[in-house]
Chains A and B, each alone.
Chain A
Amino acid sequence: MSVFRDELLKEAESIIAQYPQRKAAIMPLLWLVQEQLGYIPHDAIVEIAELTGTTPVHVEAVVKFYEMFHDHPVGKCQLMLCTNVSCLLRGADKTLQKLKEVLGIDVGETTPDGLFTLEEVECLAACDKAPVLLVNAMELYENVTPDKVEQIIAELRQRCANSGNQNES
Chain B
Amino acid sequence: MAGYLKWDELVRIFWGKVPLEKEIPANILAGTTVGLRRREIKPDAKKVRVTIDGQTIEVPEGTLIIEAAKMLGIDIPHFCYHPRLEPVGVCRQCLVEVGTPRRNPDGTIATDENGNPIIQWMPKPQPSCTMTVSDGMVVKVKSEGAEAARRAVMEFLLINHPLDCPVCDRGGECPLQNAAFVQGRPYSRFTEQKRTFIKPVAISQHIALDRERCIMCKRCIRFCDEIVGEKQLEQVERGWHSYIAVAEGEELDNIFSGNVIDICPVGALTNLHYRFAARPWELKRTETVCPKCSINCSIFADCRFNHPVRFVPAGENLRVNDLWMCDIGRFEQKHPHIEHRLVTPLMRINGELQEIGWQKALDNLVNLFSASHLTSPAEFVSIGNAAMTNEEAYLFQRFARSVVGSGSIDFFGRDPLVSELVQRGGKVGLGVDVYALQKADCVLLLGCNIYRHLPIAWLWILQAVKKRNAKLIVVGVTEDKPRMKRWAWKWIEELGAVSWGLDKFAQLLADAIDGAINEEVARSLGVELRTISEIADALKQAERPVVICASSDDPQPVSPETVLNLRRKLVKPDWDAVCYALHHANERGCMEAGLTLDYLPGLRRIGDEAMWLVLQRLWNDGTPPQRGYDAKTAMQAAKEGKLQVAWVIDPSPVYELPEEVIDAFAQVPNLIVSASMKTKLAEKAWLVLPDLTFYEKNGSYTNWAGTVQIVRRAFEPPSGARSLARVLMALSERLGKPMSYPTPKAVLSELENLRALSGLVRK
Contacts and interface: CB of A to CB of B under 8 A. Distances in A.
Contact of B231 (A42, A46, A55, A64): A55
Given A42-B248, A42-B249, A57 B232 contact: yes
Nearest to A42: B248
A57 B237 contact: no
B238 A57 contact: no
Best-surrounded residue of A54, A55, A57 (most CB of chain B within 10 A): A57
A54 B247 contact: no
7 contacts: A42-B248, A46-B247, A57-B233, A58-B231, A60-B236, A61-B235, A61-B245
B236 A64 contact: yes
Interface residues of B, number: 15
A65 B237 contact: yes
Contact of A61 (B230, B234, B250): B234
A55 B236 contact: no
Given A64-B237, A65-B237, A65-B238, A57 B249 contact: no
Contacts of B245: 57, 60-61
The 3 closest A-B pairs by CB, nearest first: A57-B247, A56-B247, A61-B234
A54 B231 CA distance: 8
The secondary-structure label for the interface of chain B is loop
Contacts of A64: 236-238
B247 A55 contact: yes
Interface of B: 230-238, 245-250
Given A55-B232, A57-B234, A60-B245, 20 more contacts: A42-B248, A45-B247, A45-B248, A46-B247, A54-B231, A55-B230, A55-B231, A57-B231, A57-B232, A57-B246, A57-B247, A58-B231, A60-B236, A60-B247, A61-B234, A61-B236, A64-B237, A64-B238, A65-B236, A65-B238
B227 to A, nearest CB: 15
A22 to B, nearest CB: 13
Interface residues of A, number: 12
Contacts of A58: 231, 234
A56 B231 CA distance: 9
Contacts of B248: 42, 45, 56, 60
Best-surrounded residue of A45, A46, A54, A56 (most CB of chain B within 10 A): A56
Interface in A121-155: none
A64 B247 CA distance: 12
A45 B248 CA distance: 10
A49 to B, nearest CB: 8
A57 B232 CA distance: 6
Contacts of B249: 42
A65 B249 CA distance: 19
Best-surrounded residue of A46, A55, A58, A60 (most CB of chain B within 10 A): A55
B523 to A, nearest CB: 34
A46 B234 CA distance: 15
A57 B233 CA distance: 6
A45 B234 CA distance: 14
Contacts of B230: 55
Contacts of A57: 231-234, 245-247, 250
Nearest to B486: A53
A60 B234 contact: yes
A57 B236 CA distance: 9
Nearest to A56: B247
Nearest to A64: B236
A118 B234 CA distance: 27
Interface in A75-112: none
Contacts of A45: 247-248
Nearest to B236: A64
B50 to A, nearest CB: 37
A65 B237 CA distance: 5
Contacts of A60: 234, 236, 245, 247-248
Nearest to B249: A42
A64 B244 CA distance: 12
A32 B737 CA distance: 84
Contacts of A56: 247-248, 250
Contacts of A54: 231
Nearest to B245: A57
A42 B233 CA distance: 16
Contacts of A65: 236-238
Contacts of B238: 64-65
A64 B241 CA distance: 10
B235 to A, nearest CB: 6
Contacts of A46: 247
A86 B247 CA distance: 37
A64 to B, nearest CB: 4
A74 to B, nearest CB: 17
Contacts of A42: 248-249
Interface in A17-71: 42, 45-46, 54-58, 60-61, 64-65
Best-surrounded residue of A46, A54, A58 (most CB of chain B within 10 A): A58
A54 B232 CA distance: 10
A65 B230 CA distance: 21
Contacts of B250: 56-57
Nearest to A61: B234
